[in-house]
Structure 1
Amino acid sequence: MSEFGQTDDRHSGEPDRPALIVDIDGYEGPLDLLLTLAREQKVDLTRISVLALVEQYLAFIAESRRLELELAADYLVMAAWLAFLKSRLLLPEDPEPDDGPSGEELAAALAFRLRRLEAMRDAAARLVSRYRLGREVFPRGEPERPTEIRQWRWQATQYELLQAYAAQRQRQLANFVRLPRRTVFTLQDARERLLRLIGTSRDWQALDSFLLEFAVRPDLRATARASTLAAGLELAKEGRVEIAQAVPFAPLFLRVRAERAEADGSGGGNA
């Protein structure tokens, strides 16, 4: 029997389950049948004693200690429904409609609470029947630690970026800039070296041939080339050497002037 008086097939198909048989004022039979007859107005509710119904229900519960909660709840709803029908017959009709819940709403609320209680008991039973750590299942010998992955996300406004850049620039202005002293191949050194290497030879010699030793020294390569070129031009201006170049941007060639070579040769012979 459901909470609205309809016959429930869950109990009719189970003969081994106890049924509540009531004997009230000439009626003797199942409680669900009495409720069905009362709803169809086939029995006189004024002759039914609610006190006797409650006493028989309590006696039935006391004798059935192992009764399932669902069956007891159904019988409780049936008894409450009969009591409600009896009270509506005995009490005078209220001319003003009552704002409180109706009998159907009360019965539905009661049935909902009973179903929720049964659901909680079922959930508790399911939790108890699960595998337990240390009894049915066991942890790993070397448990894995969770890997923590951090992703940094920087957020800043345009004003904050400009402010940070200005602060960084101010810190850099406080530093002193010191440039390393550069090694310079002087013009005088290039002049003396060029005269020593040319000697009294009358053959043309490339200017780059006098700079071979500076090719492996990056710090003196540029200054040696510039100083040697300036020294060669100065010696040519003085008439001590001759400079020749076939075409623009071609290699430069140097040799001692003939008069200078003869003078140096005669001076050396007299000595």
Structure 2
Amino acid sequence: MAQNDKKSKANGKNPSGHHAQKAMEPIWEEEHGVSEPTLVIDVQGFEGPLDLLLQLARNQKVDLAHISIVELVQQYLDFVKTAHELRLDLAADYLVMAAWLAYLKSRLLVPQRSDDEGESGEELAGLLQFRLQRLEAMREAAGQLVNRNRLGRDIFKRANPEMVVVEKKHLYDVSLYDLLMAYAGLRQRQAVKRVEVGKREVWSLKAARAILVRLMGEAKDWQALDKFLFAFIPTAHERRTALASTFAASLEMVREKQLDIRQAAPFAPIYLRAHTKAEGPNTINIGGGAKPESN
């Protein structure tokens, strides 16, 4: 009852306040969802004076770049005046904004002198329009983020799949011949082994001659050829190449009159010794002749 008396008193004092009161009702209803006909004004309902200016600009239903600054300023001043008439406490930001807007309105309405310093009314109005446009863009971006689909409210994940065990049974219709052929093919694949032929060591004539020179030295007695090589043949598979290379090297050394060679019979042991000039050129006796004397 007291509130209605205050409203009537305020409206009776100032008709323009009644107009501002009517203009503020849709603002409050849009922001807070209040549909009651009684006027309830709470400055805390807006985040700041710039937020209130944006809502007033929206009521003009025009582009923010083409709003009427003078009309917007007048609506804001009516809002502040009506709030004072209703004995509401206003934040300092709203009063500061009201003073600045009153100054802006005066700059727009009063002709400017050429020697006036500071920004013109058009520049101040453009700055206000820019701040309102930026606030509008922030609000739209925030609204888009809030209105996105939320997991668990608007969209839902797929539930855990059911653990269905699939049992498979393989049935084969084959004959005994097919089984035997499959078994034979398996055994054949398993029996195949990789055969690798190892590299055989070959004694060169140069190496065999070097060994003969070192072993024979100045030996004057007959020595069997194979006895020289036992200490230099590490493996059995090198015996054949060692004997062949050493025999060929010994023949070369006999031709150069560095060794004497003798063999009593075919396939008999071959004997070697250092060359002696006493026996002359008849020293070579391969496959015949007397057996050398053993000391």
Task: Return the TM-score normalized by structure 2.
Answer: 0.29
Higher relative contact order by CA 8 Å / sep ≥ 6: 1 or 2? 1
Task: Return the TM-score normalized by structure 1.
Answer: 0.31
